[in-house]
């Protein structure tokens, strides 16, 4: 009877320890990463309400765009003669920026 009790106690101990040996160790930092917010934790971005375009801002941007655009043909003529106006690149970038801003205002 003692042998059976000893065998059962030994079997219970071994079967209790066996699953612990099968588990893989958790690498450092994994538990911290689990605490970080994931895509499911971040609320989705809501689209902006139909914001009305600002007529004064659009008018100002259109005026500036027109004023800069008027100077471009003369600058291109200078380029054709072999001289590059130093502010031409800045003017063209400003035209792009203004046109993009106007498109954004119109599409709202």
CA-based nearest residue to 99, from 69, 65, 52: 65
Is 62 inside any structural domain? Answer: yes
pLDDT by residue (tens digit) across 42-95? 666 666 566 788 899 999 999 999 999 999 999 999 999 999 999 999 999 999
Is 74 inside any structural domain? Answer: yes
Is 69 inside any structural domain? Answer: yes
Is 64 inside any structural domain? Answer: yes
- Domain extent, residue 59, equals 55-106
Question: Model pTM?
Answer: 0.52
Domain count, the chain: 1
Is 27 inside any structural domain? Answer: no
Is 13 inside any structural domain? Answer: no
15: number of Cβ within 10 Å: 9
C-alpha atoms less than 13 angstroms from C-alpha of 95 in its C-beta half-sphere: 13
Is 93 inside any structural domain? Answer: yes
């Amino acid at each position: 009877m003692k042998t059976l009790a000893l065998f059962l106690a030994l079997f219970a101990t071994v079967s209790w320890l066996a699953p612990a040996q099968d588990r893989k160790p958790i690498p450092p930092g994994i538990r911290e990463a689990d605490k970080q917010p994931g895509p499911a934790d971040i609320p989705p971005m809501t689209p902006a309400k139909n914001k009305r375009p600002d007529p004064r801002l659009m008018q100002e941007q259109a005026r500036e765009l027109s004023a800069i655009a008027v100077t471009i043909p003369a600058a291109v003529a200078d380029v054709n003669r072999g001289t590059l106006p130093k502010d031409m690149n800045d003017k063209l970038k400003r035209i792009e920026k203004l046109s993009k801003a106007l498109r954004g205002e119109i599409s709202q």
